[in-house]
Amino acid sequence: MSAAAPAAAPRVAVMGAGAIGTWMGAALAEAGVDTTLVARGAHLQGLRQQGGARLLGPDGERTVPVRAVATAAEAGGPVDVVIAAVKAHDLVGAAPAMAPLLHDGTVVVAAQNGIPWWWFHGTGDPGRTLAAVDPSGTVAAALPPACALGSVVYLGASIAAPGAVDTRPEAGLILGEPDGTTSPRLELVASLLERAGFPVRRTTDIRAEIFTKLMGNASINLMSVLTRAGLGTMVNDAGTGPIIERLMREITEIAAAAGHPVRLSVEERIAVTRRLGDHKSSTLQDLEAGKRLELDALGAAVVELADIAGVAAPTLRAVYATADLQARSLGLR
């Protein structure tokens, strides 16, 4: 009997290669992983003109050769791993466009902030959906929740110029299966990202990790729409600091009621925020750039989960409603 042929090397595509996606894809390519970036606009042109991604960071600057295309159809067929790095509110449009990248076993790493479309997959209530993140069911139809691998991204990055990304290494990445198992595909994705130089932690409760990050995103980001202030200014202010603390306490209450208690205390999370200084939240950066704001997955979906869990969350509801009205008045919804 002849020996079995070795498994083919995995192919990866990054859908929505902005700052974080470009960094992840370039690092994978630099580590020898067959990687394609799906980007657009001036950033795509910069990537092509340079022959790759220019990465700027604490250790200097380098250009990493990596393939960049405008559409998934140009990626050369299905891949084994798709890193979905588009903003959560862009996923309704982007999900159907990913079809050329998918085969029956493709893993879709959901690298968005906030509550994801697959939230109820692997639970006792798999048929439930969240209107805030997938109102028409378009995302679930294009990306069946069974293909999703949950992730939480703790990396800082911004587009410094077309084709160039300013990177700020932070805590790294957390990966977990929606059903809490430790699977071969989880290990595959984790090992690829570790090979690319990212710290990766595996978890059996990815929802608790999502709620832990939401302690910041659903408080700091929403408040930054109202105050237009940096993190340090808001948490240290005598007026807004207590509001942020109340928001974080309500998020922990929702998480506990949903069965996924967070791993940090409110005091610990505020201390982390203070250490970040007066950094601007990603939502404030989008507001200042005139981009659509990521309020559905960070605000509306959390309010929806509060309703499901029977949690009052009055501060969250008031802050989200005010931020939403502000965004609509600016044409950013």
Positions marked active-site: 213
d(C-alpha 306, C-alpha 98), whole Å: 31
Contact indicator for 250, 267 with CB cutoff of 8 Å:
no
3-class secondary-structure state, position 160: strand
Contact indicator for 126, 332 with CB cutoff of 8 Å:
no
d(C-alpha 249, C-alpha 256), whole Å: 11
Beta bridge partner(s), residue 171? none
Give the angle subtended at the CA of 192 by the CAs of 187 and 194, to the nearest 5°.
90
Tokens of 215: 């302690």
Phi first, then psi: what are they for 131, rounded to 5°?
-60, -30
Unique residue bearing structure tokens 């008031």 = 318
- Residue 3 one-letter amino acid: A
CA 196 to chain centre: 18
**How far, in Å, are 42, 93, 94, 119, 133 from residue 138 at the CA level?**
28, 8, 10, 15, 10
Strand spans (E) along the chain: 11-15, 34-38, 53-57, 60-64, 67-69, 81-84, 107-110, 148-161, 164-176, 200-202
3-class secondary-structure state, position 212: helix
Tokens of 76: 């050369």
